[in-house]
């Protein structure tokens, strides 16, 4: 994609949030230390064949012990914002009940170190790591989920809200509900609509209630929640392909955000979602599903080309993989397409009730090779150039984009991909924990200095 004007960090404004993002489960390690309880991912990783390379999220990048070094890396690369999540089971080892003082002390140290380095601490409440103790009671499918989440959010707001003003309530709810509670590919590994439907409804309720709690308890809070999203393109103009793409678009792009905007579930366009209404008596909850967020976090990694597939239940759609379509793609098989990213940003802005957009994650996994101590990841640099050009174009056309948070600072535990998929601006040797800045990291440093 050609830049709308020459790509420039200054074109985004002096108050723009340039940051990197990590998560507790993927980075911290120290999984059974300092009072932390087990999470669903700690348990899920023990199941044979679920994680590539039989990887375990137990040490990861050892951020728990190396947070000062990693924050210095973020600062040295020129970023002004650091997004991280709070491990629910480190704060509340049993999911509810008594808080863990050591866990609270750890996050206080991280927050204080951010402020010391003049990095804005940008906190995600829930980034996929539900306490295993709550999963035993039904997890995200349980009618008690809202009560549990209220307790967790309240503790975090009261303990950290005096210094943390930027909050994301949920990270990619479509991701953890579909992959974890319908397809079984992610923790906790549940399968079926009987799990997916209540998990979606509880996520919708929790993202709104989390916003209300933060609004009540944190003065001057800047509150958002993040959504994974993809432009959905029909494989052909055949009616069955067009309709299949529309169904997929509803699930991936509309299902979780429209209730927050006060529109309820988009069931009129996909009759199957009437089951969501009936199953959860959602018509009673429309007001409770709504919250006036200060910003919406968008996380777009790829567009999807969709064709009709009658074998697939309900959605009757399947992906036409990028590798078969002669388009550029990442090591994950995800299409690289800055124009699609631009169109998606414009589309979400056109909802009208979205006040501000932050790109709360954006990045790409490629196979990195260390040669003479240098990692020349030219594909990742090209990716950021293309996507930031698209973002600059959208901003210059009037979209109120206020931040871009790169995924991720250091190579980490990439869920079911284990340590195989590397998204970092900094290479991590998982045996020695040696950090090596990639050329993409140096590229960001130079870009942000201009």
Domains observed in the chain: 9-449 (3.20.20.80)
- Please, is 250 exposed, middle or buried when counting C-beta atoms within 10 Å of its C-beta (0-12, 13-18, 19+)? buried
Task: Quote the CA–CA distance of 140 and 146 in Å, as a whole number.
Answer: 9
Q: Given pLDDT bands bounded at 50, 70 and 90, which one contains residue 224? A: very high
Q: Given pLDDT bands bounded at 50, 70 and 90, which one contains residue 373? A: confident
Global pTM value: 0.97
β-strand pairing of 426-428 with 435-437: antiparallel
Tell me the C-alpha to C-alpha distance, in Å, between residue 198 and each of 165, 178, 191, 262, 427.
Answer: 31, 11, 12, 19, 39
Q: Which two tokens stand for residue 335?
A: 């299409």
All residues at 6 or more sequence positions from 244 whose CB lies less than 8 Å from its CB, including other chains: 234, 306, 307, 308, 309, 315, 316, 317
- DSSP single-letter state for residue 329: B
Predicted pLDDT of residue 182? 97
What burial letters (b/e) apply to 163-198, b meaning 16+ CB within 10 Å? ebbbbbbbbbbbbbbbbbbbebebbbbbeebebbbb
The answer to whether the bond into 188 is cis (omega within 30° of 0) is yes
For residue 437, the surrounding DSSP H or E stretch is strand 435-437
Helices (H), 10-62: 24-27, 40-44
Task: Quote the CA–CA distance of 45 and 24 in Å, as a whole number.
Answer: 16
Average pLDDT over residues 212-235: 98
Q: Indicate if 172 belongs to the active site.
A: yes
Question: 316 phi and psi, to 5 degrees?
Answer: 50, 55
Q: Evaluate the CA torsion angle 203, 190, 420, 390 in order and state its sign.
A: negative
Model confidence pLDDT, tens digit, residues 113-151:
999 999 999 999 999 999 999 999 999 999 999 999 999
What burial letters (b/e) apply to 64-79, b meaning 16+ CB within 10 Å? bebbeebbebbbebbb
Predicted pLDDT of residue 282? 65
Average pLDDT, the chain: 96
**How many degrees, rounded to 5, is the angle at CA 284 between CA 150 and CA 174?**
60
Task: Quote the CA–CA distance of 27 and 22 in Å, as a whole number.
Answer: 7
Q: Taking the chain, what is the end-to-end CA distance rounded to the nearest angstrom?
A: 21
Res 3 pLDDT > 60: no
CA neighbours closer than 13 Å in the CB half-sphere of residue 154: 11
- Please, is 369 exposed, middle or buried when counting C-beta atoms within 10 Å of its C-beta (0-12, 13-18, 19+)? exposed
All residues at 6 or more sequence positions from 268 whose CB lies less than 8 Å from its CB, including other chains: none
Residue among 340, 425, 332 at smallest CA distance from 18: 425
Give all strands (DSSP E) within 177-300, no chain letters.
222-228, 232-234, 295-299
Task: Quote the CA–CA distance of 99 and 95 in Å, as a whole number.
Answer: 9
DSSP-assigned beta bridge partners for residue 72: none
Task: Quote the CA–CA distance of 356 and 17 in Å, as a whole number.
Answer: 12
% of the chain surpassing 70 pLDDT: 98
Predicted pLDDT of residue 443? 98
Q: Indicate if 397 belongs to the active site.
A: no
Q: Which residue has the higher pLDDT, 443 or 450?
A: 443
All residues at 6 or more sequence positions from 358 whose CB lies less than 8 Å from its CB, including other chains: 17, 224, 295, 296, 297, 298, 401, 402, 403, 404, 405
Which position among 209, 258, 335, 361 bears the catalytic label?
361
Model confidence pLDDT, tens digit, residues 60-100:
999 999 999 999 999 999 999 999 999 999 999 999 999 99
Which position among 113, 159, 172, 414 bears the catalytic label?
172
Give all strands (DSSP E) within 179-303, no chain letters.
222-228, 232-234, 295-299
Q: Which two tokens stand for residue 365?
A: 């996994």
């Amino acid at each position: 994609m050609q830049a709308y004007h020459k790509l420039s960090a200054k074109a985004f404004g002096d108050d723009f949030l340039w940051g990197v993002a990590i998560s507790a489960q993927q980075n911290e390690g120290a999984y059974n230390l300092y009072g932390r309880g087990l999470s669903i991912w700690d348990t899920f990783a023990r199941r044979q064949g679920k994680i590539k390379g039989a990887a375990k999220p137990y040490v990861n990048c050892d951020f728990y012990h190396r947070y000062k070094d990693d924050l210095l890396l973020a600062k040295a690369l020129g970023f002004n914002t650091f997004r991280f999540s709070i491990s629910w089971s480190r704060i509340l080892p049993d999911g509810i009940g008594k808080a863990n003082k050591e866990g609270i002390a750890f996050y206080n140290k991280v927050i204080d170190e951010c402020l010391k380095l003049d990095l804005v601490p940008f906190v995600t409440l829930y980034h996929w790591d539900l306490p295993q103790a709550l999963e035993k009671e039904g997890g995200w499918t349980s009618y008690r989920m809202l009560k549990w989440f209220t307790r967790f959010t309240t503790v975090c707001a009261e303990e950290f809200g005096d210094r943390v003003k930027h909050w994301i309530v949920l990270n990619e709810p479509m991701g953890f509900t579909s992959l974890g509670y319908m397809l079984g590919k992610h923790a906790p590994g549940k399968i079926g609509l009987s799990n997916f439907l209540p998990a979606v409804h509880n996520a919708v309720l929790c993202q709104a209630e989390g916003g209300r709690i933060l609004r009540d308890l944190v003065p001057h809070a800047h509150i958002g929640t993040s959504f994974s999203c993809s432009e959905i393109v029909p494989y052909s103009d055949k009616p069955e392909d067009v309709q299949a793409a529309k169904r997929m678009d509803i699930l991936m792009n509309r299902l979780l955000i429209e209730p927050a905007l006060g529109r309820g579930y988009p069931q009129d366009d996909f009759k199957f979602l009437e089951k969501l209404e009936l199953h959860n008596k959602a018509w009673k909850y429309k007001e409770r599903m709504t919250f006036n967020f200060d910003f919406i976090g968008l996380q777009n990694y790829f567009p999807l080309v969709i064709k009709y597939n009658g074998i697939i239940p309900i959605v009757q759609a399947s992906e036409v993989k990028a590798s078969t379509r002669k388009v550029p793609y990442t090591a994950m098989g995800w299409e690289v397409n800055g124009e699609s990213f631009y169109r998606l940003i414009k589309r979400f802005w056109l909802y009208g009730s979205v006040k501000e957009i932050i790109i709360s994650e954006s990045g790409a996994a490629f196979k990195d090779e260390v040669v003479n101590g240098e990692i020349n990841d030219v594909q990742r640099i090209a990716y950021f150039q293309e996507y930031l050009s698209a973002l600059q174009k959208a901003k210059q056309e009037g979209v109120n984009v206020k931040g871009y948070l790169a995924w991720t600072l250091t190579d980490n535990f990439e869920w079911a991909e284990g340590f195989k998929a590397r998204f970092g601006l900094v290479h991590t040797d998982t045996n020695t924990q040696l950090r090596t800045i990639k050329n993409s990291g140096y590229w960001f440093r130079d870009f942000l200095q201009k």
